[in-house]
Structure formats: C-alpha cells, structure tokens
Structure 1
Amino acid sequence: MNAPVAVRPVVADTSGVDDLLVAPSRERRRLQCYLALLVGDVISLVIGFCVIGYIFAAWEGVGDSLVHVQLILPIFVTLGLYNGAYSIHALREAWTGIFRAMLAIVIAMAVVIFVQFLIKPDTDFSRSVFNGGALAAMLAMGWTRLQLRSFVTWRCGNSVTNELIIDDGGPQVKLRGAIRISAAAMDLRPDLKDPNALDRLGLVMRNIDRVIVSCPAGRRVDWAMMLKGANVDGEVLDDEVARLGAQGARVVGNHGLLLVSAGPLGMRDRAIKRLFDLAFAGAAIVALSPLLIFVALAIKLQDGGPVFFMQRRMGRGNRFFNMYKFRSMTQSQCDSDGNQSASKDDKRITRVGRFIRRTSIDELPQLFNVLLGDMSLVGPRPHATGSLAGEKLFWEVDHRYWQRHCLKPGLSGLAQIRGYRGATDHESDLVNRLQSDLEYLEGWTIMRDIKIIFLTLRVLVHDRAF
C-alpha cells in the first residue's frame, strides 16, 4: 500500500478583502454600451430607409423600405460583430466605430443586391429607395453614435478598460489612465509556493482587464507565471525589447525569438510603388527631354568633359549602386567618394554647374536610376559613403542611420521637403534629416508619395544647394 501523503493545511487570510479591490468592474458597463450602440444602429437603419421610402412613395414606400431593412439587418449585425463595430476600439474612438459600421452597411448592401439578382432578377427593385435609404441610414447612424459618446463616457469614464501597473522595483512606467500600485505596499509577492500570495494577487486584479508588472530581471519569470493564471492580459516590462526595437515575438521549440526587422512594404505595396515610379519617371523623361538635351550640350560645351557624373551610393538592403547626375564640377576635381561636401564658394563648381545645382536640375538623370530599379521617386536620399556630418561619418553620428536603407533611395523625400538638405556642417544637420527619413518608413501610402512629389516642386530652387 502507498504511504499516506501529508497535507499541510492552508489558512486563507480574508481580512481586508474590500481594501484590495483597486477598481470597479467595467465589463458590465461595456456590455451596456455595446447594446446601446447596437440599438442605436438598428433604429438608425430603420428610420433611414423608412424616411427615404416615404419621400419617394409615401406609405407604400415605407412598406418596401421595411422589406429592405429585414434583408440588410441580419447581415449588417453579423458583419458589425465580426469587424469590430461593437468593440473596445469602437468605444474608445467614435470615428473608428462609425467607419466600421459604415463598412458593414456597404458590404451588407452588396450581398443583398447580389442575392436579389440571383434569385429574383425580374423583381421591380427601386434603386433610388434602396441607395437613398442606405445613405440616410449611414448618416443617421453616424449622428447617433456621436450622440452616444456622452452615454459611453457616463458609463465607462475616459477609459473603457481597467489597466493596472504593479511597481515591484523596476523602471517607472507612464501609461495614461492606468492605476498604479506598489507591490511592497500591497504586500504582493510573486511566490508560486504560497497560495495565500496567489489569492491576494487575484483579489487585487479582480475587475482588471490588463496588468503591467515592472520588476527587476530576476523576478520576471515568477511574475510571468503568476499572471498566466490570473485571467487577465498580463505584461512584464523588459526594456531590452525597446533597445532592440522589437516588433513582435514568437516561440520556436524552446527558444524565444524577437522580431527586430521586417520589410516596410508588402508585395502589393511594392508593386504599386514600382508601377507609379515607372509611369511617372517615364513620362517625366519624355516631357523633360528638351531640357535634358539642352543641359547636356551646355555641360559639354563648358569644358568638353563628360556630361554625366557617376558616384557610388548605398541603396536598399545596404547594397551599392551607381547614381547618375549631371556633372557640375570640373572633370579633374570631381569627388567620386563624396569625402568633401560642396561649399557656397566652392571653386570646383563650374558656371553651368552652379546653375543646375541651385535649380536641382543636376539631379534629373536619377530618373534613369528609377527606371533601372535602383531608386524610387520618393524615399530617403542616397548618401555618398564618405559623407561627413561635422567631423564624423554619417553612421557614426546615429546608430539608426542604417535603418533608412530598408527602402529604395529616392529623388526626393520627407527630409527634403522640410528643408533638410545641402551641406552637413554640423551633426544636427544629419540628425534632422535622419529623423524625417525614419518617420517616412513608419507608414507608407501612395498618396503620401504623391503629396511629397508635389511639395518637392516648392523646394527645387533652394539656397542650400552649392
């Protein structure tokens, strides 16, 4: 027979339970807000269609409109629940909820039209009532949701979730609207061998939606294990993640991997950007061909030297490529490595060169780099490998410098339209343009590229081009 197992009794300390509750529950209040949004959307849908139906066909049109509502409503509610029209994000940001609700209506309309076409192609279908009713319903829905913001604020306050920061001796965390407590003051310990410690932590985290623990590295594992059974979204502060610039994490086997780099553009965005580059650069070369020929002849007649100046620059993926420019310096004094930046009274610059540099015409041959795929119309400007900011090489000034090479370099960029161009006499001259380049990498859209191109026209002639 097996020997009996000795069980040590555990006596729970239930004194001061109410004192351990740090926040009232918001879950029921959020549900009330979701229900209010849903009821408001349904009423808006009905009113919108009925009003338009009455305008077009009096009470008979109202009856037809109610039929449309019966078809759209279940599809709309299903899509709204799925796409986050009734979610925490919708409660936090009114326009986020409005946009998602509008999207649900549009998709529901498309489904109804498709089904009616397949099942009853000969049915008398009033497009005016249907489209007008949907538009009126969307307008009513947007107005209703904006009016319900006061109800959401009344029920949930400024923050729709309870976020708790437990300070256990780690770095200070600043999070707007979060509740902050001291682990020492509340007698909270990450002790997995003490059920009383687990119970006490559970009482503190009652009604909490998200917990952040700031503690020394040696206690992170214990706190992580404590949070795993707490039925909350739990996070443990680790500043190494910020130092590495981690964008995500995953577990492979027994190893934890941090995602520290990713291509800023997916395949679809790269295709759009490339097609735009080809179309614009090709059209620009054709349109500017008389100017290109005229400048080429002027440079040739100046001193008989080559028309183009080719310099090795670093492009996407930290790969070198040959960048083309109109030659603006005397042939014998061209600086192929870029070790010496041009100055205001630089004796190396020719008379033609001074004009084409000041008007940025010397950069036009880079349109051919765009066609070849080495460059893009918009992106971080490529720098010569020997370029200096003050007394330091560019990458010695800021270790983030190499991050700008995750995209193709551009003829123009965010830094250029902000005026950060020309000579880099001081380290701050590089830091300013680097910050703009990194900002451009954070969120690419084709509309942003088009905007930068048009804004570039304002800075083609500038006083920092020597």
Structure 2
Amino acid sequence: MAAASTIAVDGRVAPPRPERRAGTPTAEGVVGTPAAKRLSPVVMTGAVRIAEFALSVLSGFVVYEWYLAERGWPDLNYAVGVVALAVATIVVLQGLGAYSIPAFRAFARTGLRLFGGWSLVFLLALAALFLLKAGEQFSRVWLVGWYGLGLVLLIAERLALAFAVTRMTRAGWFDRRTAIVGGGPVAEGMIRALEAQSDTGIRVVGVFDDRGDERSSDVIAGYPKLGTVDDLVDYTRRTQLDLVIFTVPLSAETRLLQMLSKLWVLPIDIRLAANTSKLRLRPRSYSYLGSVPVLDLFDKPMADWDLVVKWLFDRIVGGLLVAALSPVMIAVAIAIKLDSRGPVFFRQKRYGFNNELIEVFKFRSMYVDQCDVTASKLVTKDDPRVTRVGRFIRKTSLDELPQLLNVVLKGDLSLVGPRPHALHAKAANQLYDQVVDGYFARHKVKPGITGWAQINGWRGETDTQEKIQRRVEHDLYYIEHWSVFFDLQILAATPLALFKTENAY
C-alpha cells in the first residue's frame, strides 16, 4: 500500500507511514482470515419495519378483495384506514421494543409483544370508529378478517426472522469489529466492560499500543497485542475494521493527538473511552456502546442507510446514463479505431475506497506503444503521446465515459466522489501523498467519475502543488457534506464544467 502522509491534529505533521508493515505474526494471521459477511443492524431493523408495514397493508387489501371486491377499487375510506393502521402498528411495535437485533432473535418474547401491539392498534381503531360514529362506513367482517390474517402473517414472518437472524448473528453478520488502542489496566477495564454487554455487537479483534514496556503487556484481558498504531493503519487497510476505541487518558494529550493524526484518514468510527475518566460530562455528551460511555472523535463519512441510498443512486442513475450515452460511446469507440491501431479501452490501476487497488476503464487516448499505465508522467499541452481523437476526448472528458461500467457493473466507482488518481501520479515531481498532508483521507469514500473539485475547475494537469492541494480540499469538503442532493447538484453542473477546458490536455 502506498505511503500515506498524515495531517497533524495539533499543527505538527506526523512522519509518513511505511508502505507495508508486517505487524506481529498474530496480526498477519488475522488479516489472512476470510471476513464474514456484514450487514448493518440499522439497515436490518429498517428493512424489517418496511416489510412489516407492507405485510400489514397487504393483509388488509387481501381481505378487502376477498370480501368486498364488489365495491370496486379503490375505496378511499378503506385505503386510508389500511395505511393509517399499518403506520400505527409500526409506531406501537417500535415503542414496545420490537425492532432490534436481540428482539428479532427472541421469538417467544417478541411474539407476545407483536400480538399485544397488533391487538392494541385494532382496539384503538374500534374505539375511534365508535367515538367518531363512523362504524357504519367499515365492514366488521373485514376488520376481523384483517386482524386475523395480519396477525398470522406477522407471526409467521417473525418466526422466520428469528431463525434467520439467529444464524446470521452466529456467523458474525452484525459484529462491529473493534480494535482497542492503549494498554494497561484502562484497556483491560474497557474490554471487560464491553464483554459484560451481551447485545452490543462489539467484537474485539485485538489491542494496539505504541508502548512496549511493562505498561503494555503482550496479552490484555485475553486479547493479543497486534502491534503499534502504525500497524493498525495497515491492518485496517487490509482487513475489515469498524471501530477503534482509545483507552488513552485525556491527560496524555500529546500522545493522543499523535495517534489520531495517523488514524483520521481511515474510513472507521473512532471513539475515546470515557468509562474510567474522572471528567464527568452531561449524559447527552456521550454516545454509548451498550451502557459503556464513549466520546465520539471521528465517524465514518457514510454508513448504514447512506450506503444503501448511495448504492441505489449509482446503479439506477448510472444505468440510465449508460443507456442514454451508449450512442456517444459507440461513436467514440469507432473514432478511436479509425484514428490509430490498438484497443478501444485503456485499463489503469488506481486507488479506490480505503486505498484498495481498482482497475478503471477509459477510452484510449494515447498511441498504444506510449500508454502510461502508472501515470508516472503527466500529460501536458501538445503532448506527442496523445492521438488526434485523444486530444478531443480528453478535453471533453469523453474518455471517462467507460467508467460508467465501473459504476454499474463492477461497483468500485461511484458517479460522484473524489476522482481516483493513478498510482504514481505526481505534482511538481512529487507523489500526491507526499505533497498533501492527509491525502489518503479522500479515500474514506468510494471514488467517483466526477466530483466537487472537477466542477469547480480543479481538473486536468497538476503541475503545481497548489493544484493537487485544492483538489484534496474540495474532495474533503464533499466527504464531510455528502447528500443525495449534493450528488445531484454535482451531476447537473458537470456538463457545464466540461466546457472549461483550459486545464485539460
């Protein structure tokens, strides 16, 4: 993995990270172990809410079709009543604590809550009909039939859910893989506190500590010390890690800032243990892992439903763009074949999410015997390596269109995000990560075909350090302010930005 310069939280720049740290034999063994499939508990509970809302609505309409079909569709009173009671059911079940991973596993206990909640909703509905004198507008047979069918469907769904979630939990689907930073009694106390919580989903993978003396033994609370904080950076790049908890006291400010300056570029949550701190803040100042208080230092830029929305946005909008732009892509491909010998597409290794190597597709814009796979030499104005068609498609960014295939088919690019740079791309004869402190923080999200930097004019040649610095600044701004509407804004502005070709060669 390429070296990563790190930003200094306190104004000082930490030393560059080595390209690859071997770590301890134990750490290497963990890295080599295949990771289990993962599923966000937030997404899981949300999906169950949606499914149970749909079952409630479906059962109401099925009974209507069976008993009242002669009234025709749609009967507005019945439609509004079905949706309203379905929404009320989800609200009541939420209040009864029926939407959590432990509740999904405990069928007997949750089944009783489900029965009670579903019954309560119908009793409230009957009371409302009586008070509003609206009972004659609804069939009592329909209400009883809906109550019975809905209850059967929901109970059957919860039984299947309990079986599935129990198996998924045992397989580690909902685990939050967690590393502890810091050793000694404080780290041991945090691990014991986490282990005492049965349903946090926290799974400690090991301990990392820069100290090697008696203050930090090789095994802490039964977990091995896997290396230093530098080892943790490489460990996170090479395996799945969700959370880092610092057990360093607040009084060790300098040490804490030095370690944070190395870790903030990673796409993980970072927390500071507060269970042993003498500083007592208001309860709202903390977040909690079960009942263990922690202070939030850094969050993943995108998690849970954000990732689902981003995935759907890329696939749906990307698929529409492929269909709409396919005539243009075919025309460019023909022009490339007529202009010079060689393949139509050019494949290049670049850094993707979390510094993973990905292979992106582009239309070939250089002569086949002069293609620069590693981008070790920047393309400049009137570069003799660029073909006639290549000059046009580079200026108009048409050479980037095949990356839509990366978005739709491979899923290693997004439509919008920080542009992926080639492995040896340079600014002023220096690698990008040597020019910009915290450069690899732009890899905390999936890279994109277009981005905030590109529509603000920071595209094309990076012959000065300022140009790559400004690109990274815009990329980090995008990461911190991401939303679907922001993505739509960038996509809408991209065609206009393509007319500004002064920096594109």
Task: Compute the TM-score of the two structures, normalised by the length of structure 1.
Answer: 0.49
TM-score by length of 2: 0.45
